[in-house]
Amino acid sequence: MRVWLNGSLLTDPTGPAVPVTDHGLTVGDGVFEAVKVVDGRPFALERHLDRLRRSADALGLTGVDLDAVRRGVAAVLDGADLPLGRLRITVTGGPAPMGSGRGDAAPTVVVAVDAMRPWPATTAVSTVPWPRNERGALAGVKSTSYAENVVALAAAQRAGASEAVFANLAGHLCEGTGSNVFYVVDGELRTPTLASGCLAGVTRALILEWYGGREVDEPIAVVDGASEVFLASTTRDVQAVARWNDRELVAPGQVTSEVAALWREREPELLGG
Ligand X SMILES: Cc1ncc(COP(=O)(O)O)c(C=O)c1O
The residues that touch ligand X, with contacts defined as CB under 6 A, are 34, 175, 177-180, 198-199, 201-204, 232-234
CB closer to ligand X out of 96 and 259: 259
- Residue ranges of alpha helices (H) inside the chain are 23-27, 45-59, 66-77, 147-158, 202-210, 254-266
Q: How many CB atoms lie within 10 A of CB 205?
A: 16
First to last CA, the chain: 22
Q: How far is the CB of 233 from ligand X (least distance, A)?
A: 4
CB closer to ligand X out of 96 and 232: 232
Cα–Cα distance for residue pair 50/29, rounded to 1 Å: 19
CB closer to ligand X out of 175 and 228: 175
For residue 10, give the amino acid letter.
L
Q: How far is the CB of 260 from ligand X (least distance, A)?
A: 14
Q: How far is the CB of 36 from ligand X (least distance, A)?
A: 8
**3-state DSSP assignment of residue 66:** helix
Q: How far is the CB of 209 from ligand X (least distance, A)?
A: 13
Q: How far is the CB of 129 from ligand X (least distance, A)?
A: 17
Burial of 22 from C-beta contacts in 10 A (0-12 / 13-18 / 19+) = buried
CB closer to ligand X out of 34 and 185: 34
Q: How far is the CB of 41 from ligand X (least distance, A)?
A: 17
Pairing of strands 163-167, 122-127: parallel
| Residue 172: C-alpha distances to residues 14, 57, 168, 192 (Å) | 41, 27, 5, 8
CB closer to ligand X out of 96 and 234: 234
CB closer to ligand X out of 96 and 110: 110
